[in-house]
Each structure stands twice: as structure tokens, then as C-alpha cells.
Chains A and B, each alone.
Chain A
Amino acid sequence: MQTKSEFGYDSKIEGDVVVTTVDAALNWFRANSVWPMPMGLACCAIELMAAGASRFDISRFGSEVMRFSPRQSDCMIVAGTVTYKMAAVLKRVYDQMPEPKWVIAMGACASTGGMYRSYAVLQGVDNIVPVDIYISGCPPRPEAVLDALIKLQAKIRQQPVLSQLNVLNMLSAPAKS
């Protein structure tokens, strides 16, 4: 039996080697399985449904798993008008999402309050949660949602992962007296 191997693996069984970094591999996982939290509050939600349906098919980009529980979702898509009465609920749902998490503000209302310059409407969801991608339009086309998702994936691929992990920070940090 041969015990000496140059790479420590059997190329006939396991195939070719891919050399990468842990960050790139983790980001590859993350970027291609962004599970949305559909915060559908107005007509933008209809376009979001169209983006998820067969014609536009958001599953081509790995995001077809709409999670209606914040515990299982990665990206909150705020689709619609956020009233002040809803703002506290939206913030609470966002706080319940596990890290890492991202936010897409879909359409004019979620981005800036849109045409609702009134006493009842929050003037942009970025007043209460950090927004990664803004989509223009009233409502935006499903293509615009897909474009935002692709841009979010590009952003995710560039984010550091390992250096942000608290356990490694603790191990590498100098002991405090």
C-alpha cells in the first residue's frame, strides 16, 4: 500500500485542487445564497413577487428562498412605504435578523419617503436601519431588483469575514491586564 503522497489526497478520487482563501470561499457561499426577508409594505411588493416568479426568476442568483421569519434571512428587502407606525416593527424585525445581514431599500418610498411628504410617513428607511443598496423607481422593475441583488453580491464578495469574527479577535488580541 502506498502511503507517501505529494498532496495528501488521491487525485483520481477527489479531482483537481482549488486553491483559495477562506474569506473568498465563505463570501462565495454568502453571496450566492442571499435569503431575502421580504418586507412588503406597498405596491413594490408586487414587483418583488414578480422578481421571484418564473419570468424574472430570482433563483438564478440564489435568492429564491423568501424567508418570512427574520431568524432565517440574510437580506431585508424593504419594498414599500414605511409609515411611522410601521417603523418600530420594521426596526424590530431587522434587529431579530442574525448577522451577517444586509438591507435593500426598494423604490422611492423606502429610499426617501417618495411622494409621501406627510406627517405619517418615514422619510427614508435609512433613518432607522443601515441600507446597503437603494433601488430607484416607483415601483422599480423586477430587473432593477435583480440588478440590486447582483450589486449586493459584489459588495458581499469584497467584505472581510475572518477578521470580523469575534473569536479570532479574542485569540489574537493581546491580553489585557
Chain B
Amino acid sequence: MPISESIEKIKARFGAGVSGPVEFRGEVSLTLGDATQIVELCRFAKLQLGFDFLVDLSSVDNYGEDPRWTLVYHLRSMTSGEELRIKTSVSEEKSELPSVLGVWRTVNWHEREIYDMMGIRFTGHPDLRRILMWEGYPYFPLRKDFPLAGKPTDLPGVAFTKPAPLEGGPFVTVAGGGDSMGREPRVRTPED
């Protein structure tokens, strides 16, 4: 099934709940307005449209904006080779959306990683534990307001952390920021 036909079917099924498509370099993105519909949309895409493979699930921290979190689902059809990207947003107060584990079982560890790194919870996930950091680590380190150097923690018998010495780093770049001092500040805080 060509991608344009798949998008027509999604729009016919979900109507104004889905905006887009946005096309960029041959890749097509749809945006789902209501994150609680994500399971329904994913199941429709898998069963009716043949997107039988979830390539990746990632999360974006739009720090300082509302809604803060954007979830990005990369879908692929193993038969036709078509790819589709679905984005949906979740507010910081909620930080929760339904798990699509019932559609693709592969999403188990993806959702655990997002929970571990950004603290977004997936309702209906059977085993929502941390996957990279250890149980009991108090922070979500991939959030924009978490310092790269880390924060001191101590969990006796399990692990400890100390802030890393950055010597004025971490030497980031800023797009379009005037002279070299402006473009390459030694450090950039989330408030900048």
C-alpha cells in the first residue's frame, strides 16, 4: 500500500484528531493530537495498514514549552517498505500515556528507557522499571534541566554518583549566535 493511501485511511478513520502529513526528504510525519488515542492509532496502522514493525520509539524534551514531552513512533511495513512517523505530545503535569506494548511487543524496552531517562510513564506497561540507571536513582538524567555533570547521589551497597569536573564546559554550540564567543559558549544552561 503506498504511503499516501495509508495516510488517507488514517485521516478517514481519525479525522481532525490527526494533523499533517508533513513531508521532509521523503519521510512522512503525522501528529496525533490526543495522546490517549495512541494505542488505537497504532493498532489501526499495524492491522489495517500493514505497519508491522516498530523501528524506534523516542522522546523529546521541549523544555520551557507546553506540552513538554513529544513522543515519536517510527513505523515500518516489512512487506512494502513504507515508513511512517507518528508524533504525539504529553504535558509535564500528566507525563503519562498508554503503552503500545499490546501492539508491538518490541516496545517493552523502548518504553522502559524513556521512563528511565525522561520520567514519562506508560500506563499498562507490565514491567516499568529503570533499564540503564539502577533502581533507586532519584533523577531522570536526559531531561534538559538535568546538568550534564550529574548530581551527587548515594545508595549504599548499590551505587554512588558525584558531579563530573567539567572545567567550565561542556563546550556547546549555539545556532546563529553572532561572533565565536556567542556561537560557542563554554556552557549553556537550560534557561538560555
Could you tell me if A84 and B159 are in contact, using CB atoms closer than 8 angstroms? yes
Please, which residues of chain B bring their CB within 8 A of the CB of A121?
164
The answer, yes or no, to whether B134 is at the interface (CB within 8 Å) is yes
Could you tell me if B148 and A84 are in contact, using CB atoms closer than 8 angstroms? no
Interface hits, A76-103 → B, CB 8 Å = 84-85, 87-88
Could you tell me if B150 and A120 are in contact, using CB atoms closer than 8 angstroms? yes
B contact residues, range = 20 to 34
Could you tell me if B150 and A119 are in contact, using CB atoms closer than 8 angstroms? yes
Partner of B164, one of A85, A87, A88, A119: A119
The answer, yes or no, to whether B190 is at the interface (CB within 8 Å) is no
Interface hits, A134-156 → B, CB 8 Å = none
Q: Which of B26-34, B44-52, B165-173 contacts A (4 or more CB under 8 A)?
A: B165-173
Closest A-chain residue to B170, C-beta based?
A: A117
Please, which residues of chain B bring their CB within 8 A of the CB of A118?
148-150, 164
Given contacts A85-B133, A123-B162, contact A117 B157 (CB under 8 A): no
The answer, yes or no, to whether B19 is at the interface (CB within 8 Å) is no
Query: B residues near A, CB below 8 A?
Result: 132-134, 141, 146-151, 157-166, 169-170
- Sort A-B residue pairs by CB-CB distance and give the 4 closest, nearest first: A119-B150, A117-B164, A84-B159, A84-B161
Query: A residues near B, CB below 8 A?
Result: 84-85, 87-88, 113, 116-121, 123, 127
Q: Besides the contacts A85-B134, A87-B160, A117-B149, what 20 more A-B pairs have beta carbons closer than 8 Å?
A: A84-B160, A85-B133, A85-B159, A87-B159, A88-B158, A88-B159, A116-B164, A117-B164, A117-B165, A118-B148, A118-B150, A119-B148, A119-B149, A120-B132, A120-B133, A120-B141, A120-B150, A120-B161, A123-B164, A123-B165
